[in-house]
C-alpha cells in the first residue's frame, strides 16, 4: 500500500499535474515560499479556477512579503474582494508584517515559527513548508480525506475530530519523507481531478488496484459524513443614504466581525413583526444616530454564506435629521456612486451597488 502511494501516485502526478502559476520554480530552481503561501491561503475554500486570476493580480501588486506588509489593509481587501472568507486576507496581511518584523522578510522554514504566524494552522504549515522547503509534513484537506477514506474504506464520520486525527496519522505514515511536497501535491491533485466527490474516474486512478472502495463498487459511499444542521436564513435591510451631491453613505465593518475590514451599507436584521423598511429606519437610528425616510427598494439580493443564507432588501433613503456617526467608532464615508468600486465590499453589497449604478444610469422620464 505504501509503495502505491510513494511510487505509482507520484509517477501519475508527474504526467497529470495541472500548470499553475504558484508551481513555477524561481531562478534557483525552487519555489518561492511566499508565492506558495499566498496560493495555499487562497485555495482554502476556493477552487483552483477561481483562485488563479486572484493569485496573479495579488502577486503582481505584492510580489514579495515586504510589498504585502507595507500595503494598507483596504488595498489588500480590495484585491481579495470576491474570494470570500476575508479573515484569510487579514491574517495573511498581518502575518506578512510579522515576517518582516521578526524574520527579516524571509518566510520561516521552521514549523514552530511558521505556526506562530496569524492564520497559519496545521494544513497551511504542512502545505507551505513541504512544498517550499521539503519539510516532511503531510497535509490533510478535503481532497486528501476523500482519497484516504476511499482507498482504505474508512466508514467513520469524516467530520469528527477523532476520525480527522486518525486520517492525519495515516497520512503521516504514507508520506514520502524524501519528497514530501511532491507526495502532498500528488494526493491533492488526485482528489481534485480523479477521485472527485461525484462520478470519480476510477478506471484511470493510479490507486485503483489497492482501493477498497473501488473494489466494492461504491466509491461515492465515502467519505462518510454526518448530516449538517439546517442552514439558518436571515432577512436583512440596508439603507442607501444619498445626499444632494449623489454621494452614498458607507461604513466599515469592525475588524473582529465577520467580513471585518470590508465596507458596507448600514443596516441589519429584520426583527419579528417588522417590515424590511421599518427595520432599515430602526437600524440606521441605532447604528448611526440618524433619522431617515425610506423610499422604494432598489434591490433584493439572495446570498449564501458558509453557515447561513440571507435575503437583503436595499432601500434608497433620505437623511431627515442627525449627523451620521458609527456607534462602534468604525470609519464612515460619503462616497460618490461612481467611486464605490474603489472600496472592498462583501458580494451581497456589491450586487446592491450594481443595481444602484444601473438605476443611476437609467433614462429619466420627463
pLDDT in tens, 143-168: 999 999 999 999 999 999 999 999 99
The catalytic residue among 7, 24, 40, 302 is: 40
Question: Residue 365: its pLDDT value, please?
Answer: 47
Residues 219, 211 contacting (CB under 8 angstroms) = yes
Looking at the DSSP bridge assignments, the partners of residue 318 are 293
Question: Residue 27: its pLDDT value, please?
Answer: 75
Phi, psi at 115, each rounded to 5°: -65, -20
pLDDT higher than threshold 90 for residue 363: no
What are the Cα distances from residue 300, in Å, to 182, 186, 297, 310, 354?
A: 47, 44, 8, 10, 12
Does 274 show up as a binding residue in the annotation? no
- The CA-based diameter of the chain, rounded to the nearest angstrom, is 78
d(CA 280, CA 174): 56
Share of the chain above pLDDT 90, in %: 88
Q: pLDDT tens digits for 257-310?
A: 889 999 999 999 999 999 999 999 999 999 999 999 999 899 999 999 888 999
Does 349 show up as a binding residue in the annotation? yes
The alpha carbons of the chain give a radius of gyration, in whole angstroms, of: 24
> Is residue 260 within a helix (H) or strand (E), and if so which, with residue range?
none
Task: Classify residue 230 by burial, with Cβ atoms within 10 Å: 0-12, 13-18, 19+.
Answer: exposed
Q: pLDDT tens digits for 26-46?
A: 777 789 999 999 999 999 989
Go through the domains of the chain in sequence order and give each one's CATH number.
2-139+171-190 (1.10.340.30), 233-361 (3.90.79.10)
Q: First CA to last CA across the chain, in angstroms?
A: 77
Does 264 show up as a binding residue in the annotation? yes
Does 55 show up as a binding residue in the annotation? no
Q: pLDDT tens digits for 180-216?
A: 999 999 999 999 999 999 999 999 999 999 999 999 9
Question: Residue 362: its pLDDT value, please?
Answer: 64
pLDDT higher than threshold 60 for residue 366: no
Write out the three cell numbers for 57. 493580480
d(CA 63, CA 235): 41
Mean pLDDT of the chain: 94
With cell 462616497, the residue in question is: 335
**Omega prior to 223 cis, within 30 of 0:** yes
Q: SS3 of 167, please?
A: helix
Residues 238, 266 contacting (CB under 8 angstroms) = yes
What are the Cα distances from residue 298, in Å, to 19, 168, 231, 262, 312?
A: 43, 50, 27, 21, 11
Q: SS3 of 252, please?
A: strand
d(CA 136, CA 130): 6
Residues 201, 190 contacting (CB under 8 angstroms) = no
Half-sphere exposure of 165 (CA within 13 A, CB side): 3
What are the Cα distances from residue 247, in Å, to 15, 66, 188, 240, 243?
A: 55, 35, 48, 10, 5
Q: What is the pTM of this model?
A: 0.88
State the Cα torsion 126-131-135-141 to the nearest 10°: 20
Is 291 catalytic? The answer is: no
Question: Residue 359: its pLDDT value, please?
Answer: 80
Question: Residue 214: its pLDDT value, please?
Answer: 97
d(CA 151, CA 145): 10
Does 91 show up as a binding residue in the annotation? no
Residues 46, 55 contacting (CB under 8 angstroms) = no
Phi, psi at 157, each rounded to 5°: -60, 115
In this structure, is the dihedral angle defined by the CA atoms of residues 207, 213, 217 and 219, taken in order, positive or negative?
negative
d(CA 205, CA 199): 12
Q: SS3 of 68, please?
A: helix
Amino acid at each position: 500500500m505504501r509503495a502505491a502511494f510513494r511510487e505509482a501516485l507520484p509517477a501519475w502526478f508527474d504526467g497529470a499535474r495541472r500548470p499553475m502559476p504558484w508551481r513555477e520554480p524561481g531562478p534557483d530552481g525552487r519555489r518561492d515560499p511566499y508565492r506558495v503561501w499566498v496560493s495555499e491561503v487562497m485555495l482554502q475554500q476556493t477552487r483552483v479556477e477561481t483562485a488563479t486570476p486572484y493569485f496573479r493580480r495579488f502577486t503582481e501588486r505584492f510580489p514579495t512579503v515586504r510589498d504585502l506588509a507595507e500595503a494598507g489593509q483596504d488595498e489588500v481587501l480590495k484585491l481579495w474582494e470576491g474570494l470570500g472568507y476575508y479573515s484569510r486576507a487579514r491574517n495573511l496581511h498581518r502575518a506578512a508584517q510579522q515576517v518582516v518584523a521578526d524574520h527579516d522578510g524571509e518566510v520561516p522554514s521552521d514549523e514552530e515559527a511558521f505556526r506562530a504566524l496569524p492564520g497559519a494552522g496545521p494544513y497551511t504549515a504542512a502545505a507551505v513548508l513541504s512544498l517550499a522547503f521539503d519539510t516532511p509534513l503531510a497535509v490533510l484537506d478535503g481532497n486528501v480525506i476523500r482519497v484516504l477514506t476511499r482507498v482504505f474504506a474508512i466508514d467513520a464520520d469524516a467530520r469528527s475530530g477523532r476520525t480527522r486525527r486518525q486520517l492525519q496519522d495515516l497520512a503521516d505514515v504514507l508520506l514520502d519523507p524524501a519528497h514530501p511536497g511532491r507526495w502532498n501535491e500528488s494526493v491533492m491533485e488526485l482528489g481534485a481531478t480523479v477521485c472527485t466527490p461525484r462520478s470519480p474516474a476510477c478506471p484511470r486512478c493510479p490507486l485503483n488496484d489497492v482501493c477498497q472502495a473501488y473494489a466494492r463498487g461504491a466509491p461515492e459511499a465515502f467519505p462518510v459524513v454526518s448530516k449538517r444542521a439546517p442552514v439558518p436564513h436571515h432577512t436583512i435591510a440596508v439603507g442607501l443614504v444619498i445626499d444632494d451631491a449623489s454621494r452614498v453613505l458607507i461604513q466599515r465593518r469592525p475588524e473582529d466581525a465577520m467580513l471585518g475590514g470590508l465596507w458596507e451599507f448600514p443596516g441589519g436584521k429584520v426583527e419579528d413583526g417588522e417590515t424590511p423598511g421599518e427595520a432599515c429606519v430602526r437600524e440606521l437610528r441605532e447604528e448611526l444616530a440618524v433619522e431617515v425616510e425610506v423610499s422604494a427598494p432598489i434591490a433584493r439580493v439572495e446570498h449564501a454564506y458558509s453557515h447561513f443564507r440571507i435575503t437583503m432588501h436595499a432601500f434608497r433613503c433620505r437623511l431627515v435629521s442627525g449627523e451620521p456617526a458609527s456607534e462602534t467608532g468604525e470609519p464612515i464615508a460619503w462616497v460618490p456612486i461612481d467611486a464605490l468600486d474603489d472600496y472592498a465590499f462583501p458580494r451581497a453589497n456589491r450586487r446592491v451597488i450594481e443595481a444602484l449604478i444601473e438605476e443611476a444610469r437609467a433614462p429619466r422620464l420627463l
